[in-house]
Structure 1
Amino acid sequence: MSENNEIKQKHMFTPLASGCGSPYFEVQDKLIQICDHQASQAKAQEICREGNGDLISLEKISLFDKLLERPEMKRDSIFWVNAHYQDSSSSYVWTSGAELIHGWLPAKPSSNRYHCVLLAHQSNDSVGMTDGDCKLNKKFICAKEDDGDTKQPSGGCGSPFIKLEGLLVQICNKRGTWTEARAMCKEVGADLISLTRTQLVKELVVMSDLANYSWWVGGHYEQSSSSYVWLSGEEIGRGWMPVKPSSDKYQCVALGLSGKGIGGLNDLDCKKWTKFICMKDKVSIKNTTK
């Protein structure tokens, strides 16, 4: 098992917020939630509906293509989706009633005519639908209409805290400047995260959508020492992307992904509007403003 898979299994999200508790991300007019929990098709649908959504319907090819860009959709992964076998029409249909004709894996659906449908990314890199026993425990994908409720919750960013390397960590899909992000962390008694541990950085690289966003963390440029420091005052000595920090010496620090796909720290303009990561621990954190 790869290190990334071990990290994923070790730190599954718990359903502390709506749905399965994983963060939502925007695709077209939908809010999508890829759930690491494994459940039967019926239980998966129940969990999605607890979050005012449902299992995802992939009737639009453009939505299907966007979903496949996600890092969670790696090889050997399989997820419940919102399609089933309809006895009255002897066909597979989406929840809207539209027939599921395209997008099947080769030789699928099977002759067994299992009543439920999954989205699978196989080891040979084939991606498509397959039928499966509805009682199997599998991961699943929730979706709901983007009405603004999930993006703008009250109190902090609204995402659940998870346990990571002895800390409580909140991966926030809400966006703001560095100062706004820090203020939202403080609303829930937290602060922007300080990445002083190499293993913590590795785990966040796996769990965050670094391919599409940078994430504010608790690092900044300190004029008095002419160096980048964490909110505790500790100097940021390692963890930078190649050739970072830049010669521009932007004042704030984010976790991101380099052009070569390497995760690490980057200096950014503090006014950039992006996502962020909060943390809680027992260490008092110095008050720093930007």
Structure 2
Amino acid sequence: MDENTIRFILFFGLWVLSPCLSQEDHVVNERKSWTEAQRYCRETYTDLVTINSTEDMDKVKQHLGNNTDEFWIGLFGDDNNWKWSLEKDGFYEKGQADLRLWNTGEPNNPNQTFLCADTQPSNKWSDFVCDYKRPFVCYNDSASNYIYVKDVMNWTDAQWYCRSKYTDLASVRNMSENIAISQIVDHYAWIGMYKESWRWSDGQRLRMTSYSNWKAGQSVIVKNSCVTTTTTAWNIQPCSSTYPFICSRSPDIIQRQVVKLIVSKSGSSLDLEVNQDAILQQLTRSLQKHGLGEVKLKWRKQSDGKTFHLKKKEDTKKDMV
């Protein structure tokens, strides 16, 4: 979604979850495999620790002190974590989201952190580094058609473009859709499939938290790999290896506040319901820029199950008074 496509006027229908107490970290000096450590943390505390910022890393350093050992954290590799950008309820029938039409030998970049899929006139897909610029294919849900955009962009920018002007990057649910897309592309073009190779045990996505602290020069192997930390950097290790570990306990006291948000959009084709996760991410980034990085946002559904309600301009002006 283009940053200029929506404008936040005031808050509406949004949960703001703000911890009154910071997360507690607990160092456990027992050597276990990553899976055993995860089980222990979930049974005894909340989960293995998630490190989202330099502040989180500084707290871990304080807990470790002069200890030179490595400690498991909650980050683990998932080399087959392919998913579609469009995650609309009811869009995929059973098994359709699992369709894979890789070219021979593909995917062949297993150890890249963030990979995306492209298609070509041969009807087959390949994986590539998402920062590379390619043309791409958008999907328009209202007209059930595909739009080939020849302007080259990286995958993330292409995703924002498709979400702002249409519905999303194209998904492929069956062979007929795959053929329809291959007939409109000239060469390699991004589609909506992507893979994030590293995930946190508590479900947070590494790419969305944006912070990382990898040790330079180490061999990147994602399959069956988990991550340790020292007081200086993160290391990739086999999950079966045994290390002490760091657990976290979520704060028991949470302050919840409901605030209003009125969103104005520049394009009538933008579906706010479909793009609500992207809007939430944009709001989170805006709050982080203003020093509110600890705030967690969540949409509050209305009685009809929807998040957004259309309001006339005169009603909006009354709400702003």
Q: Please, what TM-score do these two structures have when normalized by structure 2?
A: 0.33
Please state which structure has a larger fraction of its residues in helix: 2
Q: Please, what TM-score do these two structures have when normalized by structure 1?
A: 0.36
